[in-house]
Amino acid sequence: MTTTAPAADPRALGLAHYAARGVLEHILARHGVTFEQQIALRAAATADTPQTPDDLVAQVQVTLKTDPAGIRVTLEELLARQLLVADGAHLRATDAGHTLLSVIGTEAAPLTARIWGGIPAADLAATGRVLALLKERADAELAALRK
């Protein structure tokens, strides 16, 4: 008997995204961190140069396509939890922020390995190309809508 692989479509992409995000959010919840906070903290922690609040808002907005005011609230939450600290005009991740990201990464690694494991490299390469194209097109559509 021959089975046909399901075609990729917006629903399949969304379901895969939310399933994977649900796994990550389960880990984040154990540490009292939201998905948005983790994205903002990671942006600050991995930046090559010190970031101003405006820099971080712009980076997180590119990633999450969300309201800048909400991102500013997220940065304030991270400052209140002492995961970010103001350093002059810049924000930087504290040692506690770096440690938290490391712990989250360590906890997520075996789950990620099980989720992604065993997928042939050629399938991952093809999927990567399709996802990059979808992101490019969606970013262009969003930019047109915001004009």
Give a yes or no: residue 38 inside a domain. Answer: yes
Question: Tens digit of pLDDT for each residue in 90-114?
Answer: 999 999 999 999 999 999 999 999 9
Same domain, 33 and 73: yes
Q: Specify the pLDDT at position 3.
A: 64
How many structural domains are present in the chain? 2
Give a yes or no: residue 105 inside a domain. Answer: yes
Give this prediction's pTM.
Answer: 0.89
Determine the 3-state secondary structure of 73 from DSSP: helix
Q: Is the pLDDT of residue 1 over 60?
A: no
Give a yes or no: residue 4 inside a domain. Answer: no
Same domain, 146 and 92: no
Q: Round the CA-based radius of gyration of the chain to a whole number and report it.
A: 18
Q: Is the pLDDT of residue 32 over 80?
A: yes
SS (H, E, C) 76-122: HHHHHCCCEEEECCEEEECHHHHHHHHHHHHHHHHHHHHHHCCCCHH
Q: Which domain holds residue 145?
A: 120-147
For residue 54, what are its two tokens? 């405006």
Measured CA angle at 50 (ends 45, 54), to 5 deg: 95
Same domain, 71 and 135: no
Question: Per-residue confidence at 81, pLDDT binned at 50, 70, 90?
Answer: very high
In angstroms, the CA 55 to CA 61 distance is: 10
Q: Is the pLDDT of residue 7 over 90?
A: no
Same domain, 85 and 142: no
Mean pLDDT for the chain overall: 95
